[in-house]
Amino acid sequence: MGISWEWVQCCMFNPQTEDNLPFCGHVGGTLVMKELTVPWTHWYSGGNINEFIASLGSTRTTPSKCDPHNALYDSLFTPPSGPEFSLLGRAEEFEAVVSVSINKWYNSRWAHDFLDSKKPLGTITTVIKQWVGHILLNRSMNIATSATSSAQVKTATEINGIPTTMFCNLKALTLNGLLPSVAPPKALATAKDMYVSGVAKLQLSLFYDDISSEPATRKLAVQGCEGPFAFPVIEPGIEDIRAIGALLEHATTATLIPAKAIVSLLMVDFYNPLYSARRMSLMKHVPDSAQFDVNTKTYNVIEQFTANVRASPGASDPASPEYEVLQLLDTPDDQYVAKFTERVNSYLKRVASRFATNEITRQAAIDEYMLFAEGRRRLYKGFEDSKPDGAGLDEFRLTLPIAMQPDPFILTNMTETGEIQVMPEEEAVIFKEPLRKSRDTPGSHPVVRWASRGGCPARRR
Protein backbone atom coordinates (compact mmCIF):
# COMPACT_ATOMS: atom_id res chain seq x y z
CA MET A 1 0.00 0.00 0.00
CA GLY A 2 1.37 3.41 -0.92
CA ILE A 3 0.72 6.60 1.00
CA SER A 4 0.84 10.02 -0.61
CA TRP A 5 0.98 13.36 1.19
CA GLU A 6 -0.70 16.51 -0.02
CA TRP A 7 -0.88 19.78 1.86
CA VAL A 8 -2.00 23.30 1.12
CA GLN A 9 -0.77 26.08 3.39
CA CYS A 10 -1.65 29.23 1.48
CA CYS A 11 -2.40 30.91 4.80
CA MET A 12 1.32 30.78 5.56
CA PHE A 13 1.89 33.43 2.91
CA ASN A 14 -1.01 35.67 3.85
CA PRO A 15 0.23 38.65 5.94
CA GLN A 16 -2.91 38.42 8.10
CA THR A 17 -2.35 34.80 9.08
CA GLU A 18 1.38 34.08 8.64
CA ASP A 19 3.21 33.00 11.80
CA ASN A 20 -0.11 32.41 13.57
CA LEU A 21 -0.34 28.67 13.04
CA PRO A 22 1.04 25.95 15.30
CA PHE A 23 4.63 25.40 16.37
CA CYS A 24 5.89 28.96 16.19
CA GLY A 25 7.29 28.30 12.79
CA HIS A 26 5.47 25.58 10.86
CA VAL A 27 5.70 28.33 8.30
CA GLY A 28 6.38 26.68 5.01
CA GLY A 29 3.44 24.32 4.66
CA THR A 30 5.61 21.22 4.51
CA LEU A 31 5.74 18.15 6.73
CA VAL A 32 7.05 18.96 10.17
CA MET A 33 9.11 16.96 12.63
CA LYS A 34 10.28 18.67 15.80
CA GLU A 35 13.38 16.52 16.16
CA LEU A 36 15.61 15.49 13.31
CA THR A 37 18.40 13.63 15.08
CA VAL A 38 18.94 11.13 17.88
CA PRO A 39 17.95 10.60 20.65
CA TRP A 40 14.41 11.22 19.29
CA THR A 41 12.65 12.39 22.46
CA HIS A 42 9.18 12.21 20.92
CA TRP A 43 9.63 9.41 18.40
CA TYR A 44 10.05 5.65 18.41
CA SER A 45 13.53 4.80 17.14
CA GLY A 46 16.14 2.09 17.20
CA GLY A 47 17.97 3.83 20.02
CA ASN A 48 15.15 4.16 22.53
CA ILE A 49 13.09 1.00 21.92
CA ASN A 50 14.03 -0.70 25.18
CA GLU A 51 13.13 2.31 27.31
CA PHE A 52 9.95 2.81 25.32
CA ILE A 53 8.80 -0.78 25.86
CA ALA A 54 9.72 -0.64 29.56
CA SER A 55 7.78 2.60 30.04
CA LEU A 56 4.59 0.98 28.70
CA GLY A 57 4.85 -1.96 31.08
CA SER A 58 2.62 -4.28 29.08
CA THR A 59 3.45 -7.84 28.08
CA ARG A 60 2.32 -9.96 25.17
CA THR A 61 -0.63 -11.26 27.18
CA THR A 62 -1.22 -8.54 29.79
CA PRO A 63 -2.02 -4.85 29.28
CA SER A 64 -0.87 -2.18 31.75
CA LYS A 65 -2.13 1.12 33.15
CA CYS A 66 0.02 2.97 30.63
CA ASP A 67 -1.04 0.64 27.82
CA PRO A 68 -4.57 -0.48 28.75
CA HIS A 69 -5.38 -1.64 25.22
CA ASN A 70 -2.06 -3.47 24.82
CA ALA A 71 -1.15 -1.39 21.78
CA LEU A 72 2.42 -2.59 22.12
CA TYR A 73 1.38 -6.00 20.85
CA ASP A 74 -1.31 -4.89 18.41
CA SER A 75 -1.02 -6.86 15.17
CA LEU A 76 -0.52 -3.58 13.27
CA PHE A 77 2.74 -3.01 15.13
CA THR A 78 3.99 -6.38 16.42
CA PRO A 79 3.78 -9.72 14.59
CA PRO A 80 2.51 -12.72 16.64
CA SER A 81 5.97 -14.20 17.03
CA GLY A 82 8.26 -11.27 16.21
CA PRO A 83 9.99 -8.48 18.16
CA GLU A 84 7.90 -5.67 19.62
CA PHE A 85 7.02 -2.93 17.15
CA SER A 86 9.01 -4.58 14.36
CA LEU A 87 6.22 -3.66 11.91
CA LEU A 88 6.32 0.01 12.89
CA GLY A 89 8.39 2.54 10.98
CA ARG A 90 11.02 4.37 12.99
CA ALA A 91 11.98 7.99 13.41
CA GLU A 92 15.10 7.57 11.28
CA GLU A 93 12.94 6.49 8.34
CA PHE A 94 10.43 9.30 8.70
CA GLU A 95 13.20 11.88 9.07
CA ALA A 96 14.45 11.00 5.59
CA VAL A 97 10.93 11.53 4.20
CA VAL A 98 10.54 14.84 6.02
CA SER A 99 13.95 16.19 4.97
CA VAL A 100 13.39 15.35 1.30
CA SER A 101 9.88 16.84 1.44
CA ILE A 102 11.16 20.08 2.96
CA ASN A 103 13.87 20.38 0.31
CA LYS A 104 11.37 19.87 -2.51
CA TRP A 105 8.87 22.23 -0.95
CA TYR A 106 11.31 25.13 -0.63
CA ASN A 107 12.63 24.61 -4.14
CA SER A 108 9.04 24.73 -5.42
CA ARG A 109 8.25 27.74 -3.27
CA TRP A 110 11.34 29.58 -4.53
CA ALA A 111 10.28 28.96 -8.14
CA HIS A 112 6.74 30.10 -7.37
CA ASP A 113 7.91 33.32 -5.68
CA PHE A 114 10.67 34.41 -8.08
CA LEU A 115 10.00 32.92 -11.50
CA ASP A 116 7.46 33.47 -14.23
CA SER A 117 7.70 31.12 -17.22
CA LYS A 118 11.08 30.04 -15.83
CA LYS A 119 12.38 33.62 -15.93
CA PRO A 120 12.99 35.85 -12.86
CA LEU A 121 10.18 38.25 -12.06
CA GLY A 122 11.04 41.86 -12.78
CA THR A 123 9.50 43.15 -9.56
CA ILE A 124 8.90 41.38 -6.25
CA THR A 125 7.06 42.64 -3.17
CA THR A 126 5.64 40.64 -0.25
CA VAL A 127 7.92 37.65 -0.79
CA ILE A 128 10.96 39.72 0.19
CA LYS A 129 10.15 39.89 3.89
CA GLN A 130 8.88 36.32 3.90
CA TRP A 131 12.25 35.04 2.72
CA VAL A 132 14.45 37.49 4.63
CA GLY A 133 12.44 36.50 7.70
CA HIS A 134 14.03 33.06 7.47
CA ILE A 135 17.38 34.79 8.11
CA LEU A 136 16.53 37.47 10.66
CA LEU A 137 13.61 35.87 12.47
CA ASN A 138 13.08 32.43 13.96
CA ARG A 139 10.04 31.31 12.05
CA SER A 140 10.69 27.67 12.88
CA MET A 141 12.21 25.71 15.73
CA ASN A 142 13.31 22.20 16.54
CA ILE A 143 13.97 20.39 19.80
CA ALA A 144 17.31 18.83 20.69
CA THR A 145 18.58 17.15 23.84
CA SER A 146 21.71 15.57 25.25
CA ALA A 147 22.32 11.88 24.61
CA THR A 148 21.73 11.03 28.29
CA SER A 149 18.27 9.74 29.18
CA SER A 150 16.57 10.54 32.47
CA ALA A 151 16.98 6.91 33.47
CA GLN A 152 20.71 7.10 32.78
CA VAL A 153 21.05 10.27 34.86
CA LYS A 154 20.59 8.12 37.97
CA THR A 155 23.63 5.95 37.21
CA ALA A 156 25.79 7.92 34.76
CA THR A 157 28.84 9.91 35.78
CA GLU A 158 28.46 12.46 32.97
CA ILE A 159 25.75 14.12 30.92
CA ASN A 160 26.98 13.67 27.35
CA GLY A 161 26.21 15.43 24.10
CA ILE A 162 24.82 18.77 25.34
CA PRO A 163 23.51 20.34 22.09
CA THR A 164 25.86 22.92 20.60
CA THR A 165 22.96 24.34 18.59
CA MET A 166 21.81 26.31 21.63
CA PHE A 167 25.02 28.35 21.35
CA CYS A 168 25.19 29.05 17.61
CA ASN A 169 23.26 28.45 14.38
CA LEU A 170 26.00 26.23 13.00
CA LYS A 171 23.86 24.66 10.28
CA ALA A 172 22.93 28.00 8.75
CA LEU A 173 26.42 29.52 9.03
CA THR A 174 28.02 26.58 7.21
CA LEU A 175 25.38 26.18 4.48
CA ASN A 176 26.71 25.89 0.95
CA GLY A 177 30.20 26.95 2.01
CA LEU A 178 29.23 30.24 3.69
CA LEU A 179 31.78 29.72 6.49
CA PRO A 180 33.21 26.30 5.65
CA SER A 181 35.82 26.23 8.42
CA VAL A 182 33.46 26.93 11.31
CA ALA A 183 33.80 23.89 13.52
CA PRO A 184 31.78 23.03 16.61
CA PRO A 185 33.69 21.97 19.72
CA LYS A 186 33.95 18.34 20.64
CA ALA A 187 30.81 16.95 22.26
CA LEU A 188 30.04 18.98 25.35
CA ALA A 189 29.63 17.09 28.59
CA THR A 190 29.32 17.85 32.27
CA ALA A 191 29.53 15.90 35.48
CA LYS A 192 26.23 14.33 36.48
CA ASP A 193 26.38 15.89 39.96
CA MET A 194 26.72 19.39 38.49
CA TYR A 195 23.77 18.79 36.20
CA VAL A 196 21.61 17.48 39.06
CA SER A 197 22.59 20.54 41.10
CA GLY A 198 21.51 22.82 38.23
CA VAL A 199 18.15 21.06 37.96
CA ALA A 200 17.62 21.46 41.71
CA LYS A 201 18.53 25.18 41.73
CA LEU A 202 15.98 25.98 39.05
CA GLN A 203 13.54 23.37 40.37
CA LEU A 204 13.02 22.17 36.83
CA SER A 205 9.90 20.03 36.63
CA LEU A 206 7.30 18.70 34.24
CA PHE A 207 3.70 19.93 34.30
CA TYR A 208 0.42 18.91 32.72
CA ASP A 209 -2.80 20.74 31.96
CA ASP A 210 -5.72 19.63 34.11
CA ILE A 211 -8.67 19.96 31.74
CA SER A 212 -11.23 19.19 34.45
CA SER A 213 -11.45 22.94 35.05
CA GLU A 214 -12.27 25.71 32.60
CA PRO A 215 -9.86 27.11 31.69
CA ALA A 216 -7.39 24.28 32.24
CA THR A 217 -4.92 24.70 35.09
CA ARG A 218 -1.29 23.67 35.04
CA LYS A 219 -0.34 21.07 37.63
CA LEU A 220 2.88 19.39 38.67
CA ALA A 221 3.52 16.02 37.03
CA VAL A 222 7.15 15.16 37.80
CA GLN A 223 9.33 17.27 40.08
CA GLY A 224 13.07 17.63 39.55
CA CYS A 225 13.11 16.27 36.01
CA GLU A 226 13.76 17.72 32.55
CA GLY A 227 11.86 15.06 30.64
CA PRO A 228 12.89 11.92 28.75
CA PHE A 229 16.42 13.21 28.12
CA ALA A 230 18.65 15.65 29.97
CA PHE A 231 19.26 19.21 28.77
CA PRO A 232 16.41 19.73 26.28
CA VAL A 233 16.85 22.90 24.25
CA ILE A 234 15.08 24.79 21.50
CA GLU A 235 17.25 25.09 18.39
CA PRO A 236 16.89 26.85 15.00
CA GLY A 237 14.43 24.97 12.82
CA ILE A 238 15.11 23.12 9.61
CA GLU A 239 12.51 25.12 7.68
CA ASP A 240 14.47 28.36 8.14
CA ILE A 241 17.76 26.64 7.38
CA ARG A 242 16.39 25.01 4.26
CA ALA A 243 14.93 28.31 3.03
CA ILE A 244 18.35 29.97 3.36
CA GLY A 245 19.81 27.02 1.46
CA ALA A 246 17.33 27.52 -1.36
CA LEU A 247 18.33 31.19 -1.70
CA LEU A 248 21.99 30.20 -1.98
CA GLU A 249 21.43 27.30 -4.36
CA HIS A 250 19.30 29.28 -6.82
CA ALA A 251 21.45 32.44 -6.71
CA THR A 252 22.86 31.81 -10.20
CA THR A 253 19.34 32.18 -11.57
CA ALA A 254 18.17 35.03 -9.34
CA THR A 255 19.88 36.37 -6.25
CA LEU A 256 17.60 37.79 -3.58
CA ILE A 257 20.51 38.54 -1.22
CA PRO A 258 24.18 37.78 -1.96
CA ALA A 259 25.96 35.14 0.11
CA LYS A 260 28.11 37.69 1.95
CA ALA A 261 25.03 39.65 2.96
CA ILE A 262 23.25 36.49 4.14
CA VAL A 263 26.12 35.48 6.39
CA SER A 264 26.48 39.09 7.61
CA LEU A 265 22.85 39.10 8.70
CA LEU A 266 23.32 35.72 10.41
CA MET A 267 26.40 37.08 12.22
CA VAL A 268 24.37 39.78 13.98
CA ASP A 269 24.10 38.56 17.57
CA PHE A 270 25.16 35.11 16.30
CA TYR A 271 25.70 33.82 19.84
CA ASN A 272 21.93 34.04 20.34
CA PRO A 273 20.76 31.73 17.56
CA LEU A 274 17.11 31.83 18.71
CA TYR A 275 14.82 34.74 19.50
CA SER A 276 17.36 37.50 18.93
CA ALA A 277 15.70 40.87 19.41
CA ARG A 278 18.67 42.49 17.66
CA ARG A 279 18.18 40.54 14.45
CA MET A 280 14.41 40.86 14.65
CA SER A 281 14.66 44.65 14.88
CA LEU A 282 16.46 44.79 11.53
CA MET A 283 13.35 43.58 9.70
CA LYS A 284 12.00 47.11 9.67
CA HIS A 285 14.76 48.07 7.24
CA VAL A 286 13.90 45.35 4.70
CA PRO A 287 12.35 46.99 1.60
CA ASP A 288 8.78 46.36 0.49
CA SER A 289 9.67 45.89 -3.17
CA ALA A 290 12.72 45.22 -5.31
CA GLN A 291 13.72 45.24 -8.96
CA PHE A 292 15.65 42.57 -10.85
CA ASP A 293 18.86 43.51 -12.67
CA VAL A 294 19.19 41.21 -15.69
CA ASN A 295 22.93 41.93 -15.95
CA THR A 296 23.84 40.92 -12.39
CA LYS A 297 20.87 38.56 -11.95
CA THR A 298 20.29 40.20 -8.59
CA TYR A 299 17.39 41.97 -6.91
CA ASN A 300 18.32 45.30 -5.30
CA VAL A 301 17.24 44.19 -1.83
CA ILE A 302 20.54 44.53 0.01
CA GLU A 303 21.26 47.94 -1.58
CA GLN A 304 17.94 49.28 -0.29
CA PHE A 305 18.37 47.56 3.07
CA THR A 306 21.85 49.04 3.55
CA ALA A 307 20.67 52.51 2.57
CA ASN A 308 17.75 52.28 5.02
CA VAL A 309 20.08 51.17 7.82
CA ARG A 310 22.59 53.95 7.11
CA ALA A 311 19.79 56.50 7.25
CA SER A 312 18.50 55.23 10.59
CA PRO A 313 19.32 56.84 13.97
CA GLY A 314 21.00 53.63 15.11
CA ALA A 315 23.61 53.72 12.35
CA SER A 316 25.96 55.84 14.45
CA ASP A 317 25.29 54.10 17.78
CA PRO A 318 27.96 51.43 18.44
CA ALA A 319 25.53 49.57 20.71
CA SER A 320 22.79 49.24 18.08
CA PRO A 321 22.11 46.30 15.76
CA GLU A 322 22.15 48.77 12.85
CA TYR A 323 25.75 49.71 13.63
CA GLU A 324 26.66 46.05 14.06
CA VAL A 325 25.22 44.93 10.73
CA LEU A 326 26.88 47.80 8.87
CA GLN A 327 30.26 46.80 10.29
CA LEU A 328 29.66 43.24 9.12
CA LEU A 329 28.48 44.26 5.65
CA ASP A 330 31.44 46.64 5.26
CA THR A 331 33.99 43.88 5.92
CA PRO A 332 36.12 43.53 2.74
CA ASP A 333 35.01 40.77 0.40
CA ASP A 334 38.37 39.02 0.58
CA GLN A 335 38.42 39.08 4.39
CA TYR A 336 34.93 38.44 5.71
CA VAL A 337 35.05 34.62 5.58
CA ALA A 338 38.26 34.44 7.62
CA LYS A 339 37.20 37.15 10.08
CA PHE A 340 33.70 35.77 10.67
CA THR A 341 35.06 32.23 11.02
CA GLU A 342 37.60 33.34 13.61
CA ARG A 343 34.91 35.07 15.66
CA VAL A 344 32.60 32.07 15.66
CA ASN A 345 35.32 29.52 16.41
CA SER A 346 36.81 31.66 19.18
CA TYR A 347 33.38 31.98 20.77
CA LEU A 348 32.73 28.24 20.60
CA LYS A 349 36.13 27.56 22.15
CA ARG A 350 35.28 29.90 25.04
CA VAL A 351 32.03 28.03 25.60
CA ALA A 352 33.81 24.68 25.54
CA SER A 353 36.51 25.93 27.91
CA ARG A 354 33.87 26.68 30.55
CA PHE A 355 33.08 22.97 30.65
CA ALA A 356 36.74 22.07 31.18
CA THR A 357 37.94 24.36 33.97
CA ASN A 358 37.82 24.08 37.75
CA GLU A 359 34.75 22.75 39.52
CA ILE A 360 33.39 26.13 40.64
CA THR A 361 33.66 27.64 37.16
CA ARG A 362 32.12 24.55 35.56
CA GLN A 363 29.15 24.64 37.92
CA ALA A 364 28.66 28.33 37.19
CA ALA A 365 28.63 27.58 33.45
CA ILE A 366 26.07 24.80 33.82
CA ASP A 367 23.83 26.99 35.98
CA GLU A 368 23.99 29.81 33.43
CA TYR A 369 23.39 27.64 30.40
CA MET A 370 20.44 25.88 32.02
CA LEU A 371 18.96 29.30 32.85
CA PHE A 372 19.54 30.41 29.26
CA ALA A 373 17.92 27.25 27.87
CA GLU A 374 14.91 27.72 30.14
CA GLY A 375 14.43 31.26 28.87
CA ARG A 376 14.33 30.07 25.25
CA ARG A 377 11.83 27.36 26.14
CA ARG A 378 9.63 30.02 27.74
CA LEU A 379 9.82 32.22 24.68
CA TYR A 380 8.72 29.31 22.53
CA LYS A 381 5.83 28.51 24.88
CA GLY A 382 4.90 32.19 25.12
CA PHE A 383 4.74 32.67 21.37
CA GLU A 384 2.59 29.57 21.01
CA ASP A 385 0.22 30.55 23.82
CA SER A 386 -0.15 34.09 22.48
CA LYS A 387 -1.43 33.10 19.05
CA PRO A 388 -4.98 34.22 18.29
CA ASP A 389 -7.98 31.96 18.81
CA GLY A 390 -5.92 29.19 20.36
CA ALA A 391 -4.00 28.55 17.13
CA GLY A 392 -0.74 27.89 19.00
CA LEU A 393 0.28 24.34 19.75
CA ASP A 394 2.50 23.77 22.77
CA GLU A 395 2.09 20.02 22.97
CA PHE A 396 5.35 19.36 24.78
CA ARG A 397 4.23 20.04 28.35
CA LEU A 398 5.33 16.61 29.55
CA THR A 399 8.64 16.63 27.70
CA LEU A 400 9.85 20.23 28.06
CA PRO A 401 10.43 21.32 31.67
CA ILE A 402 9.50 24.55 33.41
CA ALA A 403 11.62 26.10 36.17
CA MET A 404 9.85 26.95 39.40
CA GLN A 405 12.81 29.12 40.49
CA PRO A 406 13.63 31.93 40.22
CA ASP A 407 10.10 33.26 40.41
CA PRO A 408 9.61 35.76 38.73
CA PHE A 409 11.87 34.40 36.00
CA ILE A 410 14.48 36.57 34.28
CA LEU A 411 15.22 36.26 30.57
CA THR A 412 18.89 36.17 29.60
CA ASN A 413 21.04 36.48 26.51
CA MET A 414 24.30 34.81 25.60
CA THR A 415 27.33 37.05 25.08
CA GLU A 416 30.34 36.54 22.82
CA THR A 417 32.43 35.78 25.90
CA GLY A 418 30.42 32.58 26.41
CA GLU A 419 28.70 33.99 29.52
CA ILE A 420 25.09 35.05 29.91
CA GLN A 421 23.68 38.43 30.87
CA VAL A 422 20.22 39.72 31.70
CA MET A 423 18.31 40.57 28.53
CA PRO A 424 18.26 44.38 28.20
CA GLU A 425 14.87 45.97 28.73
CA GLU A 426 14.80 47.43 25.21
CA GLU A 427 15.17 43.89 23.85
CA ALA A 428 12.91 42.16 26.36
CA VAL A 429 10.05 44.51 25.50
CA ILE A 430 9.77 42.80 22.11
CA PHE A 431 8.88 39.56 23.87
CA LYS A 432 6.69 41.01 26.61
CA GLU A 433 3.30 40.61 25.01
CA PRO A 434 3.45 36.92 24.11
CA LEU A 435 4.96 36.07 27.47
CA ARG A 436 2.45 38.23 29.32
CA LYS A 437 -0.43 36.45 27.63
CA SER A 438 1.07 33.09 28.55
CA ARG A 439 1.77 34.26 32.10
CA ASP A 440 -1.76 35.57 32.65
CA THR A 441 -3.36 32.23 31.80
CA PRO A 442 -4.97 30.98 35.04
CA GLY A 443 -2.82 28.32 36.62
CA SER A 444 0.18 29.01 34.43
CA HIS A 445 3.49 29.07 36.23
CA PRO A 446 5.66 31.01 36.72
CA VAL A 447 5.91 34.64 35.61
CA VAL A 448 8.75 36.56 33.99
CA ARG A 449 10.67 39.46 35.48
CA TRP A 450 12.19 42.01 33.14
CA ALA A 451 15.76 43.23 33.36
CA SER A 452 14.83 46.57 34.93
CA ARG A 453 13.48 44.77 37.98
CA GLY A 454 16.51 42.80 39.07
CA GLY A 455 19.81 41.14 38.31
CA CYS A 456 20.78 37.80 36.89
CA PRO A 457 20.07 34.96 39.34
CA ALA A 458 22.86 32.85 37.87
CA ARG A 459 25.27 35.50 39.16
CA ARG A 460 23.96 35.41 42.71
CA ARG A 461 26.30 32.99 44.43
Tens-place pLDDT, residues 246-299: 999 999 999 999 999 999 999 999 999 999 999 999 999 999 999 999 999 999
How far apart are the C-alpha atoms of 312 and 254, rounded to whole Å?
A: 28
Q: Please report the pLDDT score of residue 52 as a whole number.
A: 67
- How many alpha carbons lie under 13 Å from residue 38 in its C-beta half-sphere? 10
User: With bands split at pLDDT 50, 70 and 90, how would you rate the model's confidence at 231?
Assistant: very high
The mean per-residue pLDDT over the stretch 115-133 comes to: 96
Q: Is the pLDDT of residue 185 over 80?
A: no
How far apart are the C-alpha atoms of 304 and 170, rounded to whole Å?
A: 28
- Residue 258: CB atoms within 10 A of its CB come to 17
Residues 6+ apart with CB under 8 A from 297: 120, 252, 253, 254, 255
How far apart are the C-alpha atoms of 402 and 409, rounded to whole Å?
A: 10
Contact between 355 and 362 under an 8 Å Cβ cutoff? The reply is: yes
Q: Is the pLDDT of residue 443 over 50?
A: no
Contact between 234 and 377 under an 8 Å Cβ cutoff? The reply is: yes
Lowest mean pLDDT among 19-23, 256-260, 429-433: 19-23
How far apart are the C-alpha atoms of 53 and 70, rounded to whole Å?
A: 11
User: With bands split at pLDDT 50, 70 and 90, how would you rate the model's confidence at 42?
Assistant: confident
Q: Which of 103-107, 152-156, 235-239, 327-331 has the highest mean pLDDT?
A: 327-331
Model pTM?
A: 0.85
DSSP string, 82-138: S-TTTTS--HHHHHHHHHHHHHHHHHHHHHHHHEETTEE-SEE-THHHHHHHHHHS-
How far apart are the C-alpha atoms of 142 and 239, rounded to whole Å?
A: 9
The mean per-residue pLDDT over the stretch 392-399 comes to: 70
Query: Which residues, in sequence order, are bridge partners of residue 292?
Result: 299
Amino acid at 418: G
Contact between 191 and 158 under an 8 Å Cβ cutoff? The reply is: yes
